[in-house]
Chains A and B, each alone.
Chain A
Amino acid sequence: MAIHELELPKLHTTTPAITLNQLSFAYPDGRVALQNVSVTINSGEKVALVGPNGAGKSTLLLHLNGVLGALDGSVRIADVEVRRDTLRKVRALVGLVFQDPDDQLFSPTVFDDVAFGPLHMGLAEAEVRARVVWALEQVGMQGFEDRMPHHMSVGQRKRVAVATVLSMEPQVLALDEPSAGLDPRARRGLVDLLQSLSQTMLVSTHDMRLIAEVFPRTIILANGQVAHDAPTDEILSNRALLEEYGLEMP
């Protein structure tokens, strides 16, 4: 079945965008990365995922579009359960942006990269071109179509990396450390970009100022488990809690 024949489910406001139910995962070498993680994120919510390195943040994000399969428990995106046979549908729903833009941008030009997702969703050529233009406009990188990633700054590459998934018109954005390695101006641009996007977001980060500015809700992950899941204000004002998990006040 060609993917353009798939009916993408409509989001109802009552259906959560992301539902993780008792999710557990261990890597092949036996290292347990996630343990009974249960999280529900509503449509349109912007949620930050924090915790020390190795807490399982990246592993969790990789479960959202089925790159990693849960050993136990389940992942639902809108009303689609992430399973082997729903992978293509899920990958159209979830846009995953990796930490290193050089991994995300694997095509020789910006155009080819932003077009990769829509092309592989089976869209017609005119639609693909329209989406590339639209996605680059969203991230403020219009006119960069023919540029090559290695000629661009890290900030520009990060923006294009976001555009590569926006062109797939996902309902959920999962970003891994989006502000890492950015200079203050590029970081400011990223904050504005994240604020302007309306998708449901789950973003792993160490950047507490970014969290304070963009994300109303924060989940602290420690040793593969959800240690805290609360409004950001509450977490940021709890000095003892921040210290316990090695986090800094913004």
Chain B
Amino acid sequence: MAQQLLDRYIAGSSVIHALDARVKLVLTIALIVCASLLPVGAWLALTAFTALVWAAIIASGVGLPTILRRSLLALPFLLVVVTVIFSVPGRPIFRLPLGFVTLTATDAGLLRFITIVWKSWISMQAALLLTATTHFLDVLRALQALHMPKIIVALMSFMYRYLFILVEEAQRLLRARDCRSAALQGSGGGSLLWRAQVTGRLVGTLFLRSFERSERIYVAMLSRGYTGELRSLRAQTLDRRDLRVGLVVGAILLIITAQAFVG
């Protein structure tokens, strides 16, 4: 069950799945950087990026609706951006009276808002496509091959390995609590404070267990020759075809971005 909750990977055998994880990772990051560099109102470039990402999503076979649904998760964070509608100077469009203060929306602000939301949304979809078509382990290996500091890659790999165990442990604790949370007919389930205390103790127990486990893992690492330096095998060489795909798509991204500044 924890598996389905946490793993975003959707198995498949499309060209997007088969593309080398390093290429996918670099292209995703490139797209996010390019998108964020675009000036306000670069509608053509944004449309082109959207077309590119959607084409890739459709080619991957994971389903456009799936990615769009997942991308909705990020929308609440965009609420923060709503402020630019009112804070950027420009021609007023409408006023929002909020008692003691009146907010004035401007056309420039609105354009900037739409641009930012579109950029974030398309970046989000690109990242979601990456996680849906690339196994997390391959993303890790790609990060390592791209010289991400070893300690950070190691932390992410430990997180991935033990997240499932942690979730299962939490579920066991919750189940044990539920089994003993009987109520007499007609009586409530305890006060809010009491419930908060129970939850607090649960979290504390989980933390202590994780802490103890981390010590045992460290001992297991020491026992197998770990001395503070992490070693790993060399990455495989990059397939020529994958490299070419990466270069071509990368060039397209650059051209679209450059076009937005020229035009």
Residues of A within 8 A of B (CB): 3, 62, 65, 67, 88, 91-92, 94-96, 98, 100, 102-109, 115-117, 119-121, 125, 128-129, 148-150, 164-165, 168
Q: Does B164 contact A (CB under 8 A)?
A: yes
Q: Is the CB of A164 within 8 A of B157?
A: no
Residue from the set A91, A105, A106, A115 with the largest chain B CB neighbour count within 10 Å: A106
Residues of B within 8 A of A (CB): 3, 136-137, 140, 157-158, 160-162, 164-165, 213, 216-217, 219-227, 231-234
Q: Across the interface, which residues of B come within 8 angstroms of A149, CB to CB?
A: 161
Q: Is the CB of B233 within 8 A of A91?
A: no
Which residue from B3, B137, B165, B219 sits with its C-beta under 8 Å from A67? Answer: B219
> With A and B bound together, what is the CA distance between A205 and B51 in angstroms?
62
Residue from the set B157, B220, B231 with the largest chain A CB neighbour count within 10 Å: B220
B263 to chain A, nearest CB (A): 46
Q: Is the CB of B160 within 8 A of A88?
A: no
Q: Is the CB of B161 within 8 A of A120?
A: no
Supply 4 further A-B pairs (C-beta < 8 A) apart from A67-B219, A102-B213.
A62-B219, A105-B161, A106-B158, A109-B137
> With A and B bound together, what is the CA distance between A145 and B12 in angstroms?
20
A37 to chain B, nearest CB (A): 20
Residue of B nearest to A62 (CB): B219
Residue of A nearest to B233 (CB): A125
A77 to chain B, nearest CB (A): 13
A97 to chain B, nearest CB (A): 9
A16 to chain B, nearest CB (A): 21
Q: Is the CB of B233 within 8 A of A106?
A: no
Majority secondary structure, B binding face:
helix
Q: Across the interface, which residues of A come within 8 angstroms of B217, CB to CB?
A: 103, 106
Enumerate 18 A-B pairs (CB-CB under 8 Å) in ascending A order: A65-B223, A88-B227, A96-B220, A98-B216, A102-B213, A103-B213, A103-B216, A106-B161, A106-B221, A108-B160, A108-B161, A116-B221, A117-B224, A117-B225, A120-B226, A121-B225, A125-B233, A165-B223
Q: Across the interface, which residues of A come within 8 angstroms of B216, CB to CB?
A: 98, 100, 103
Majority secondary structure, A binding face:
helix
Q: Across the interface, which residues of A come within 8 angstroms of B233, CB to CB?
A: 115, 119, 125, 128-129
A61 to chain B, nearest CB (A): 10
B135 to chain A, nearest CB (A): 10
Q: Is the CB of A107 within 8 A of B161?
A: yes
Q: Is the CB of B227 within 8 A of A67?
A: no
Q: Is the CB of A108 within 8 A of B227?
A: no
Q: Across the interface, which residues of A come within 8 angstroms of B221, CB to CB?
A: 106, 116
B249 to chain A, nearest CB (A): 28
Q: Is the CB of A92 within 8 A of B164?
A: no
Q: Across the interface, which residues of B come within 8 angstroms of A103, CB to CB?
A: 213, 216-217, 220
A152 to chain B, nearest CB (A): 12
A104 to chain B, nearest CB (A): 5
Q: Is the CB of A98 within 8 A of B160?
A: no
Q: Across the interface, which residues of B come within 8 angstroms of A92, CB to CB?
A: 225
Q: Is the CB of A104 within 8 A of B220?
A: yes
Which residue from A91, A107, A165 sits with its C-beta under 8 Å from B222? Answer: A91
> With A and B bound together, what is the CA distance between A164 and B227 in angstroms?
17
Q: Across the interface, which residues of B come within 8 angstroms of A115, CB to CB?
A: 233
A35 to chain B, nearest CB (A): 23
> With A and B bound together, what is the CA distance between A164 and B220 in angstroms?
10
A166 to chain B, nearest CB (A): 11
> With A and B bound together, what is the CA distance between A148 and B157 in angstroms?
12
> With A and B bound together, what is the CA distance between A3 and B225 in angstroms?
10
Q: Is the CB of A119 within 8 A of B231?
A: yes
Which residue from B222, B223, B232 sits with its C-beta under 8 Å from A119? Answer: B232
> With A and B bound together, what is the CA distance between A92 and B225 in angstroms?
7
